[in-house]
Amino acid sequence: MKIHEYQAKKLLRDYGIPVPRGEVAAPLEEARRIAAELAGQVVIKAQIHAGGRGKGGGVKKALSPDETYAAARSILGMQLVTHQTGPKGKKVRKVLVEEASAVRKELYLSLVVDRSRGKECVMFMASEAGGMDIEQVAATAPEKIIRCAVHPAIGFSPFQARKLSVGLKLDPEQGRQFAEICRNLYRLFREKDCSLLEINPLAITAQGRLLALDTKLNFDDDGLYRHPEIRELRDADEEEPLEVAARNASVNYVKLDGNIGCMVNGAGLAMTTMDLIKMAGGEPANFLDVGGSASPEQIEKAFRILTSDPSVKCILINIFGGVLRCDRVSAGLIQAVANVEMKLPMVVRLQGTNVEEGRRMLRESGLRVTVADGLYEAAQKAVSLIG
Ligand code: GDP
Ligand code: MN
């Protein structure tokens, strides 16, 4: 799960990490008051779940309350396009107004979960070449990014902070601040089950203070059940509406760009089905895993999600009936199609317990359904139905 910069900064502040003072201007008229209270130059920042806002025009500076209001008004509601949003961009619904800082140097600092074999731990990554071109640095000068793996049983050690400080060429006072920041970031990362924590830039101000000017914080969805206060930070406006509906129905769904809607039980089978559609020359409209049980209720919910995507022109159902028998799956499908009033052509591939009975029920149902035996055959039939 992703959250906004202003929410992430609140969490950082709670953990003792220095961030600029600021507030979200909601309603927009608040921008003037916030700027007046901060006194001096301010930064106005679009809040969307994507980075690259600076280059896309989503970060502006202002010197007076009136200027702040004008900048906030121009950013709010804009369709912000950055290298992370895709060509359609994202609509800006919230604007953060913060005190501006005089920046001497921009560092990069992040914590990620390194899943590679032999590591499988939280990894600090840092660079003295932080700021808006960090992707460029990673691509062309990877030696400028230093790494430090944290052993889960030992935790983050002072010597690791010193190693990173030396790599960042910090002076002893900055090194002290940096060690404290790292220690607190690691605590936050672990306690809140984060999957990614990035500060870019971590500024060294003109006064020699380290300050988190921008931050991105993602959480492991599987850990959210134990953090109600984090779940509350979810902003459904930033998420794909069908993915929100799918989450509410406990269906694993990811929207894609193609036109063949897929309904599959099991993530591995769902991935395979998408690959086979590609091999047969088609494009999947989604990844959808109805889960191991695939009850009639789940199937109906999944149908509603698939059919509310206007780009879906054909539906491919690939279910392996194990504990759940194929005849039950067919009964569920027939009922769901009737309830949803589905009119799209459908290819169904069933395999497993009571498969013959399941297929017979579908053939005799009077539905617009093509029954397939094999995996690849099912994909080919779906592609040919699109024409
Ligand atoms: P991003 O482009 O989405 O990563 O947004 P950032 O919050 O990182 O802002 C983009 C850039 O604006 C940063 O890399 C900084 O160079 C600059 N910036 C942001 N806040 C401040 C500030 O308070 N003072 C100064 N001088 N620059 C800032
Ligand atoms: Mn940034």
Q: Can you tell me the mean pLDDT for 60-72?
A: 98
> 18 by DSSP, 3-state: which?
coil
313: amino acid identity, one letter: K
- Who's near 275: CB < 8 A, 6+ residues apart? none
Q: Can you tell me the mean pLDDT for 214-223?
A: 96
What SS3 string covers 23-43? EECCCCCHHHHHHHHHCCCEE
CB-based contact 306:261 (threshold 8 Å): yes
Read off φ and ψ for residue 117, nearest 5 degrees: -60, 135
Alpha helices (runs of H) in 203-325, residue ranges in sequence order: 228-231, 241-248, 267-279, 296-307
Q: Any idea which residue has 């906030």 for tokens?
A: 72
Q: What structural domains does the chain harbor?
A: 1-20+102-238 (3.30.470.20), 21-100 (3.30.1490.20), 240-386 (3.40.50.261)
Q: Mind listing the pLDDT tens digit for each residue in 149-197?
A: 999 999 999 999 999 999 999 999 999 999 999 999 999 999 999 999 9
The CA-CA-CA angle for residues 23, 221, 56, to 5°, reads: 45
What's the mean pLDDT when you consider all of the chain? 94
Q: Give 2 Cα–ligand 2 centroid separation in angstroms.
A: 15
Give the pTM.
0.84
Structure tokens at 356: 């013959």
Question: For residue 255, which of 310, 329, 317 has the smallest C-alpha distance?
Answer: 310
**Pairwise pLDDT comparison (53 vs 300), residue with the higher score:** 53
Q: Is the pLDDT score of 292 beyond 80?
A: no
Q: Give 238 Cα–ligand 2 centroid separation in angstroms.
A: 18
CA separation for the pair 303, 127 (Å, rounded): 47
Q: Give 112 Cα–ligand 2 centroid separation in angstroms.
A: 16
Pocket test for ligand 1, best of 81, 214, 215 (most atoms within 8 A of CB): 214
Q: Is the pLDDT score of 262 beyond 90?
A: yes
Specify the residue with its C-alpha closest to ligand 1, atom 11: 54
Give the number of whichever ligand sits closest to the CA of residue 131: 1
Q: Any idea which residue has 């690691």 for tokens?
A: 186
- In order, the DSSP letters of 257-282 are SSSEEEEESSHHHHHHHHHHHHHTT-
Query: Does ligand 1 come within 6 angstroms of the Cβ of 327?
Result: no
312: amino acid identity, one letter: V
> Any idea which residues carry the catalytic annotation?
108, 198
Pocket test for ligand 1, best of 213, 215, 216, 217 (most atoms within 8 A of CB): 213
Task: Give the pLDDT band (50/70/90) at residue 119.
Answer: confident
Q: Give 218 Cα–ligand 1 centroid separation in angstroms.
A: 19
Q: Any idea which residue has 């920046």 for tokens?
A: 103
pLDDT for res 295: 77
b/e 219-236 (16+ beta carbons within 10 angstroms → b): beeeeeeebeebeebbbe
